């Protein structure tokens, strides 16, 4: 008997395939279908701090003749957006039964609006995922301050709720291991490696800026494999989910072997459909049987940094062989 159950962020998932935060998860109807398609958990579309601020600005511009103060309007937008989000949590919980619903907040500042996490908890979310994705481009940037912001926001949320907190990290930290260790020390239950930045491009015909690929490709997976392989060996009390380029059923097995407890999928479902979830699970079941495994714990992390002695695969940075003179 193959058992797909996995523990992630203090939750028991029926299987390790999590649908990640995106437009795929922004309504209860969509989430019901994802649960029926086999998802092990669902991360709701993020509520963006920026969204609240921009909408307030927009309303102030559109209705300049109204004399409401910014504070009042901000409070109104916040209340409205937050209520919509709470409704999404409640309606998704009602139709997804045994599939955990993870709320997602995008915040950039450690501001009081994070107190909204309390209402997320009361609305019945099973966990909160926090996404602080941002580029640091300020010439006066103080090294380490962005990492510290992660810790500060996490502490604030942990003070506010008892729910498991999952930190979804961007992929451009100098040393994700040290950050993950700090997040673990401050109460994070899991980390997701990694969120994906918007990809810029340039159209040379029109000589204009253009958007790069919105959806990922499997070329992006090695970065998650590397850092999960290294970090799960060192900071081994926190759970990991791989995100970014998980496209094939084989990719799921790879990330579990590297040390992940779960994977998050997004682009592959946009490109194909939610039937990919079953394909992943069928492949995982066959692979486990072929290799004599009944439970994920029996092989999770088998190829992480700790378990592969004398082979520095994950830390290798140069393709020495390929850079030699005759290649
Ligand atoms: C259209 C779209 C919308 C997304 N919206 C969010 C979001 O609201 N919050 C978030 O944390 N990530 C968001 N993401 C990022 C995904 O959750 C995921 O981390 C990223 O796409 C990498 O995974 P993938 O390779 O499986 O696509 C979005 C991605 C796409 C393509």
CATH number of 30's domain = 3.20.20.70
* 151 pLDDT more than 70: yes
- Tell me the two tokens of residue 318: 């140069």
Does the residue 211 lie in any domain? Answer: yes
Lowest mean per-residue pLDDT among 154-168, 289-303, 304-318 = 304-318
pTM assigned to the model: 0.92
Given the CA of residue 269, which atom of ligand 1 is nearest to it? 26
Burial of 190 (0-12, 13-18, 19+ CB in 10 A): buried
Banded pLDDT at 61 (limits 50, 70, 90) = low
Which atom of ligand 1 is the closest one to the Cα of 131?
A: 11
pLDDT at residue 51 greater than cutoff 70:
no
Q: Locate 71 and state its tokens.
A: 């504070």
| Closest to 268 (Cα-Cα) out of 280, 284, 258, 259 | 280
pLDDT at 110: 79
Res. 146 pLDDT band, cuts 50 70 90: very high
Average model confidence (pLDDT) for the chain?
90
Give the distance from CA 134 to its chain's centroid: 14
Distance in Å, CA 204 to ligand 1 centroid: 27
Mean pLDDT, range 210-233, rounded to an integer: 95
Decide: 23 in ligand 1 pocket, CB within 6 A: yes
pLDDT category at 128 given cuts 50, 70, 90 is very high
| Pick from 206, 222, 296, 221: nearest CA to 257 | 296
Per-residue pLDDT reduced to its tens digit, 278-290: 999 999 999 999 9
Identify the residue whose tokens are 């103060």.
Answer: 69
pLDDT value at 2 more than 50: yes
244 Cα: distance to centroid of ligand 1 (angstroms) = 8
Structural domains of the chain, count: 1
Distance (angstroms) between ligand 1 centre and the Cα of 20 equals 6
Is residue 70 included in any domain, yes or no? yes
Residue range 96-106: mean pLDDT, rounded? 95
Cα distances (angstroms) measured from residue 76 to each of 53, 80, 287, 324: 11, 6, 53, 63
Decide: 265 in ligand 1 pocket, CB within 6 A: yes
Give me the percent of the chain exceeding a pLDDT of 70: 87
Q: How far is the CA of 296 from the centre of ligand 1 (A)?
A: 26
Measured from the CB, is residue 243 less than 6 Å from ligand 1? yes
Q: Which atom of ligand 1 is nearest to the CA of 268?
A: 26
Q: In terms of DSSP bridges, do strands 127-131 and 208-211 run parallel, antiparallel, or are they unpaired?
A: unpaired
Closest atom, ligand 1, to C-alpha of 267: 27
Q: What is the pLDDT of residue 65?
A: 45
To test the ligand 1 pocket, which listed residue (19, 21, 169, 171) has its Cβ within 8 A of the most ligand atoms?
Answer: 21
Task: For residue 262, tell me if it sits in a domain.
Answer: yes
Within a domain: 1: no
- Ligand 1: atom nearest CA of 216 is 25
pLDDT bracket for residue 34 (50, 70, 90): very high
pLDDT tens-place string over residues 14-29: 999 999 999 999 999 9
Three state DSSP letters for the chain: CCECCEEECCEEECCCEEECCCHHHCCHHHHHHHHHCCCCEEECCCEEHHHHHHHHHHHHHHCCCCCCCHHHHHHHHHHHHHHHHHHHHHHHHHHHCCCCEEEEEECCCCCHHHHHHHHHHHHCCCEEEEECCCCCCCCCCCCCHHHHHHHHHHHHHHHHCCCCEEEEECCCCCCHHHHHHHHHHCCCCEEEECCCCCCEEEECCCCEEEECCCCCCHHHHHHHHHHHHHHHHHCCCCEEEEECCCCCHHHHHHHHHHCCCEEEECHHHHHCCCHHHHHHHHHHHHHHHHCCCCEHHHCCCCCCCCCCCCCCCCCCCCCHHHHCCCC
Domain that holds residue 26: 6-325
**Cα–Cα distance between 147 and 105 in angstroms, integer?**
17
Is residue 267 within 6 Å of ligand 1 at its C-beta?
Answer: yes
- Asked whether residue 254 is assigned to any structural domain, the reply reads yes
Does the CB atom of residue 131 touch ligand 1 within 6 A? yes
pLDDT band at 306 (very low <50, low <70, confident <90, very high): confident
Q: How confident is the model at residue 48 (pLDDT cuts 50, 70, 90)?
A: confident
* Higher per-residue confidence, 47 vs 77: 47
The per-residue pLDDT for 311 is: 56
pLDDT band at 81 (very low <50, low <70, confident <90, very high): confident
Mean pLDDT across the stretch 50-74? 57
Closest ligand 1 atom to residue 266 Cα is 26
pLDDT at 68 over 70: no
User: In Å, how far from its chain's centre is CA 231?
Assistant: 16
């Amino acid at each position: 008997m193959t058992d797909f159950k996995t523990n992630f962020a203090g939750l028991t998932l029926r299987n390790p395939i999590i649908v990640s935060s995106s437009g795929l998860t922004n309504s209860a109807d969509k989430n019901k279908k994802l649960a029926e398609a086999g998802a092990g958990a669902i991360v709701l579309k993020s509520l963006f701090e920026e969204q609240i601020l921009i909408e307030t600005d927009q309303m102030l511009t559109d209705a300049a003749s109204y004399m409401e103060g910014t504070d009042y309007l901000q409070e109104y937008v916040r209340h409205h957006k937050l209520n919509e989000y709470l409704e999404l949590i409640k309606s998704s919980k009602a139709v997804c039964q045994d599939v955990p619903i993870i709320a997602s907040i995008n915040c950039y500042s450690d501001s009081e609006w994070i107190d909204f996490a309390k209402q997320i908890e009361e609305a019945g979310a099973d966990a909160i995922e926090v996404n602080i994705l941002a580029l640091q481009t300020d010439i006066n940037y103080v090294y380490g301050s962005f990492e510290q912001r992660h810790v500060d926001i996490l502490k604030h949320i942990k003070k506010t709720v008892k729910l498991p907190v999952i930190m979804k990290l961007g992929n451009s930290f100098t040393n994700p291991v040290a950050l993950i260790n700090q997040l673990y020390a401050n109460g994070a239950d899991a980390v997701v490696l990694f969120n994906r930045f918007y990809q810029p491009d340039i159209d040379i015909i029109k000589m204009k800026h253009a958007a790069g690929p919105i959806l990922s490709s499997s070329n992006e997976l090695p970065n998650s494999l590397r850092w999960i392989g290294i970090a799960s060996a060192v900071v081994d009390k926190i759970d990991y989910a791989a995100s970014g380029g998980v496209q094939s059923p084989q990719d799921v097995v790879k990330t579990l072997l590297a040390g992940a407890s779960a994977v998050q999928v997004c682009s592959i479902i946009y490109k194909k459909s939610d039937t990919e979830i079953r394909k992943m699970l069928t492949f995982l079941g066959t692979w486990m049987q072929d290799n004599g495994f009944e439970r994920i714990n029996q092989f999770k992390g088998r190829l992480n940094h700790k378990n592969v002695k004398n082979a520095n695969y994950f830390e290798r940075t140069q393709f020495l062989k390929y850079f030699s003179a005759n290649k």
